Protein backbone atom coordinates (compact mmCIF):
# COMPACT_ATOMS: atom_id res chain seq x y z
CA UNK A 1 0.00 0.00 0.00
CA UNK A 2 1.13 3.55 -0.59
CA UNK A 3 0.08 6.05 2.07
CA UNK A 4 0.59 9.77 1.43
CA UNK A 5 1.30 12.02 4.42
CA UNK A 6 2.63 15.58 4.40
CA UNK A 7 3.11 15.31 0.61
CA UNK A 8 5.41 12.30 1.13
CA UNK A 9 4.56 8.78 -0.04
CA UNK A 10 5.13 5.94 2.43
CA UNK A 11 5.26 2.42 0.99
CA UNK A 12 3.98 -0.26 3.37
CA UNK A 13 4.82 -3.90 2.67
CA UNK A 14 3.07 -6.87 4.27
CA UNK A 15 5.15 -9.39 6.19
CA UNK A 16 2.81 -12.21 5.12
CA UNK A 17 0.01 -13.00 2.66
CA UNK A 18 -3.54 -12.13 3.62
CA UNK A 19 -6.95 -11.00 2.40
CA UNK A 20 -8.42 -7.55 2.88
CA UNK A 21 -11.61 -7.78 4.96
CA UNK A 22 -12.64 -4.10 4.93
CA UNK A 23 -11.38 -0.76 3.58
CA UNK A 24 -12.51 2.03 5.91
CA UNK A 25 -11.16 5.04 4.02
CA UNK A 26 -11.74 6.41 0.54
CA UNK A 27 -8.96 7.60 -1.78
CA UNK A 28 -8.06 11.21 -1.00
CA UNK A 29 -9.89 11.19 2.35
CA UNK A 30 -8.24 12.92 5.33
CA UNK A 31 -7.81 10.57 8.28
CA UNK A 32 -7.66 11.04 12.04
CA UNK A 33 -4.77 9.90 14.23
CA UNK A 34 -5.06 6.14 14.94
CA UNK A 35 -7.98 5.75 12.48
CA UNK A 36 -8.22 2.24 11.04
CA UNK A 37 -7.64 2.29 7.27
CA UNK A 38 -7.71 -1.40 6.31
CA UNK A 39 -8.78 -4.55 8.18
CA UNK A 40 -7.41 -7.99 7.26
CA UNK A 41 -8.89 -11.48 7.79
Res 24: pLDDT: 92
Query: What SS3 class is residue 14?
Result: coil
Res 10: pLDDT: 84
pLDDT digits (tens, 9 = 90+) for 1-41: 777 777 888 888 888 999 999 999 888 888 888 999 889 99
Res 29: pLDDT: 87
Res 22: pLDDT: 96
How far the first Cα of the chain sits from its last, in Å, is 16
pTM above 0.95, yes or no: no
Res 5: pLDDT: 79
Amino acid sequence: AVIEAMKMENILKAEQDGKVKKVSAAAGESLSVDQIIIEFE
